[in-house]
Each structure stands twice: as C-alpha cells, then as structure tokens.
Structure 1
Amino acid sequence: MQEMHWLAEITAAIEEQRLVLYQQPIVSTLATAEPTNELHYEVLVRLKGREGAIISPGAFLPAAERYGLSAAIDEHVIRQYLNWLAAHPAHAQRLTMVSLNLSGHSISSPSFRDLLVTMVRDSGIPGDKLCFEITESVAITRLGDARAFFEALGALGCSFALDDFGSGVSSFGYLKNLPVDFLKIDGAFIRDMDTNRVSYSIARAIAEVAREMGMKTVAEFVGSPEVLASVATVGADFVQGYALGMPEPLEAIAILSNTDDNQEKRHADDPA
C-alpha cells in the first residue's frame, strides 16, 4: 500500500517539478591536505512533498525501481541539471567533474541511451565533465547493456563509475571488459576502516587493483577525521562523505561560486 502511494506521488512530483537537486562534494585525497578550487561533486535527488518537506531518496526510489519509474526520474534529473548548468556558465566553466546516477532501467533502455546522447550533445557541456554512475550489481547483471551504454556515451568523452563496489559480487574479472574510470568503494568497508582491519584490508585491495587497471577510486561514507586519515593510507584517489561535506541544495554551490567569482573580479579591478 505504501509503495502504491509513492507511485502516485513520484508521478505527480515529476509533473509538478518537485524533484529537487542536491550535491555532495567529491574531494581529491591530495586536496584534503592542500585545498584547491576544483568543483567535483555528485548530484543527488530529493523529493519535495506537497507541504514543502524534503524527502530522502531512500523513501521513494525503491518504489520507483519496482514500478518502472526510475528511468523517468533519471531523465528528469539529468535534463534539469544540464539546463541548470547552461543557466550558470561561470559555474560550468569552473566545474571539473559531476557524477550523475543512473538506474538499471535506464542502462537497459536503448531509447533512453539515445535520448541521453542527444541531451549531452545539445547541452554544449563538454562530455569530459560528466561521469555516469551505476551500481556494481547493475553492471554485472546487465553486462551487455552496460557495455553498450559506456560505448555510446564514451564516444562523447563521458566517464563512468561503478558505485557500491565490493558490496556483493567481489570479482574483479569482469572489470577487464568494462571501460570504467572510477570505482566507488562501498561504504560498508569505509565507515569503520579506522578500527576494523578486515574493512581496511578490503579497501586497500580494491584501491591497489584499481590502480593497476588504470582506474581511480573514491572512498564513500567518510564520516570522521579518523576514517579520513585511514583512507589516505590505502591509496584511494578521492573521498566523499560527511567529513568532507554534507549534501546541500545545488543552488547553494552556485551562490558560493558567484561569490568567489565576484571576489576575484574585484581583486582584478583593484589598482596595484
């Protein structure tokens, strides 16, 4: 009964523009010691309820997957984000990379793949600024679809990440057949790696194999300075989590970027 409620609510939210974009920073492990001006983040979706409350994706995305609405959400989020980026050219110029999540339904749909290629081309945003994320389980269970998707979007310069890596299958063999650029190490191995030697060893092994295969790694769910310090010793390339930044509305980062741009412009106008 609860999922049927979400079916109607998600459909209405898409029609009424009540899907809200958030972002969470992804930070280079080198930049944690020496901050840079790079803009690298993951776009996250929230649902704004009819009374204005912000609803987390864990409440509605399972129903979207079950009832085949996840591709509609993906399309709406990506279209909304690309339009937003076009409306904020200064932000787009400074953007290093953005990660956008895709569901299994989207990966498996040739029509969605063609639509996404068209959206990226028409946006004018360089493909090398866009990274599409799918979970490891989706990549393995839909290997042929994933390869076709990576080939089509890779031709535009886009990058690809496997999310929740190591969460279930734990086999590296299939990676040889997927042109993946990033492995996002599952948070189950990151959350307690400062106190759990098994978690630490698994995270280090994933980082080592990824490095040998020419892939970058992102440690997810870095929630404390202690975990951050531990991550730095296993060779992960990027970190993401509450210790680096909480998810915030996308508009907040645009305001920050505009403020930085104005400050730089004022400094440039000041006489020496």
Structure 2
Amino acid sequence: MLINEWQYELTIWIWLGIAAGTFLLLMFVRAPYGRHERPGWGPRIPARLGWVFMESPCIVVMTVFFGIGVSGWNLADPVGIIFYILWTGHYVHRSWVWPARARITGKKMPISLVLFAVGFNGINSWINAEWMFSLHHPYPIDWLISPQFIIGVIFFITGMGINIKSDNMLFDLRKDGSTEYQIPRGGLFQWVSCPNYLGELLEWWGWALATWSLAGLSFAVWGVANLVPRARANHKWYQKNFEDYPVDRKALIPKVW
C-alpha cells in the first residue's frame, strides 16, 4: 500500500475532476494523431513506436502490483488472476499487436502526446492496481458468482471482441498497401462511425461493473472523456471528406448519437 485509503479515494476524485475537464477540452481540441495529425505539437516520432511506448506502462504497472500481491498470498486469488488476465489481454493487444498490424508506416506522433499518454496510463494503471492488489485483495471467492462480476466480464469480453473485429475491418481497407482513408462498411460500421471505440467503452464499463470499485468507475469515466470527443471528431471528419458518407450513420451509439 503506497497511501492510505482516504488519500487514495481523494486522489480518484481529483482524477475524475481532471477527466471532466479533459472531456470539455477534447470537444474543442482534437488530439493530433491519426487522421487528425497536424503540425504545431513539437517533435514527432514514428507512430508505431509511440503507441508501444504509451500503452506499455499499463502492462508494467499492473504486473508489478500483481507480482507483489501474489507474493503475499497464502492461496491463489482466482478473482484477481482473472482481472489481471483481462487487463493484460487488452493491453498486450493494444500495446504490441495493434501497432504491429496497423497500417501506420510513415505516420508520426508528437512526443508531447506520447508523454501525456504515458502519464495518463501510468496513473490509471496504478489506481486500478492499487485497489485490486493492495487496498482490496483478495476478492472473496464467491465474487465469481456475483451478478456484477458475471455481467461485467461478459460486457468486457464482448466489448473487446467488438473492438478487435472493428479494427480488423479497418485494417482490411488497406490490405493492398494503400494509405488512403476509405469509408468502412459492414458489421457495426453499418450503424456507427466508430464501433471500435464503442467496443472499448463497453470493455471499461464492464470492468467498472466487474470490479465494483471507484477505481474501475474512474477508468470508465476517463474512457468517455477520451473516446466520445474522438468519435465525434472522426464522424465529422468522415462527413466532411466523403460526399457519399451514409447519412443515417451515427458517431458512436446506434440510432442515437
């Protein structure tokens, strides 16, 4: 335990306040990567390398806390192990698999953005790891049959499937080596511009439910703060750059928004 529980909860509430401010900022300022890449954000590095650097802390921090937690247990904690597998499964894909497969050769990313993301991922991972493997461990064995855990894990796995499937469909648009953006079609792209973001949001709201913690909730809120403005910006970009973009396609939530 690095801090006491009162200090920990205060830290999370401050973190949630920063999330609210970030949401408002990103509704007006687009993060400069991908299709929104633009000059004016300082030196840049290859985007593939940037993704690896900025997502890998999530694996490192969680693994360190998991290792410390395991060393102090007399018996294995199956709930904690499942949470660790879910978390690292997502971030192994996000840190190493996705950058290796993405068609981003030649793309650049500002170092300033990478450093910001490293800071965010480090803090967010610590908040969740501190809860699961220090302040609140181990979860009781009967948590495995609780409605929160079962429904939350189903949401998480479903969301991860949607996220990966949608990313694969985007990769397929450039399987001929093209670097040009195209209109994605099929799957959930029939309904929304950013089903990959929808899947990721479903993951982290599932995480919040399964962990039933303020830590998990803070991550879900941060997911909204980061991905909702990004989905809005991507949707508007598609509408601006493709005259034949489907008029009934929403940004993130089918038939709603």
TM-score tier after normalising by the smaller chain length: under 0.3
- The structure with higher relative contact order (CA 8 Å, sep 6+) is 2
TM-score by length of 2: 0.24
Larger proportion of helix: 2
TM-score by length of 1: 0.23
